[in-house]
Structure formats: structure tokens, C-alpha cells
Amino acid sequence: MNTATAAMRLGLAAACLASAICAADEALLPGDALRDASGPTPSKPTLAVPGGFERGWEKQPPMIPHPIDKYNIDLRQNGCLKCHSPATFEVAKAPKVGDSHFLDRDGVKLDHLAPRRYFCTQCHAAQTGAIPLVDNVFEGG
């Protein structure tokens, strides 16, 4: 195949792709959910799922049963620790940060939260009462 033929095929492919994108519905834009018009409309997230979610496997990080969008977790502060630290969990009536979060990578107990466990949302996700966009067929072990 010569250069002119390759360029022609590439141009044709680009034109086909561009026409497909232009003909697409607005719902297909990035960030928009795809949904069947006959299906349920996704609801606005609520505070929590009543009763919470069961864990799918042993040692799965628990879900967060409340909104966290206003929490700051950065190098200077961790909003989760206002309620979940060993010093405040009883007053806040919240679960205490797990003891495993105070172990360094070598298993040595620290007097502060281990750096690798500081950013809570890298393992824990907030649960909502929103209608799922797809069915969950996961079966825990």
C-alpha cells in the first residue's frame, strides 16, 4: 500500500468517525450517563443505603455511610479524623479507625496514622441510595 492510499483510507476513517460522533445523541457526551428512556431515572444520591452494604469479601474496606463531598483530605488535614480518630470516636459515636491503620509497612505500630493509610478514600467509598446504572452480578466468596 502506498502513502496516498494509506492517507486516503485514514481520511475516510476519520470522516466516518466524525459523522458518527456528530450524529450521536447529547447523552453520549463524556460525563453523561447512558440510560434507556423506559428505565428508571437515576436519582440524586441520598445519605446512605438503609442497613448499609454487605461486604463482598473478607477484609473488604467498609463503605462510608454518609456524604463526604465537603471533607478535606490533604497533606495538612484529614476531615475523617474529626470523628473517627481514637481521641474522638466515642464522643462522635463513630467507628474508630482500625488498628491496622497505625501499622507501617513493616508491621511496626505507630502512635499516628500510617502515611499509606492517611488518604481514606483510596480504599473507602461513600455509599448512596442512587439507582444503579448497571446490575451488579458480583458474588462474594
How does residue 87 score in pLDDT terms, banded at 50, 70 and 90? Answer: very high
pLDDT > 70? residue 34:
no
- Percent residues over pLDDT 90 in the chain: 35
CA 64 – CA 70 distance, rounded (Å): 14
CA 107 – CA 83 distance, rounded (Å): 25
How does residue 96 score in pLDDT terms, banded at 50, 70 and 90? Answer: very high
* CA distances to 53, 105, 122 from 86, in Å: 25, 21, 20
For residue 49, the 8-state DSSP code is: -
* pLDDT digit string, tens, across residues 52-63: 677 778 888 888
Report the CATH number of the 36-131 domain: 1.10.1130.10
Q: Quote the pLDDT of residue 10.
A: 74
Worst-scoring range by mean pLDDT, 15-19, 117-121, 129-133?
Answer: 15-19
How does residue 49 score in pLDDT terms, banded at 50, 70 and 90? Answer: low
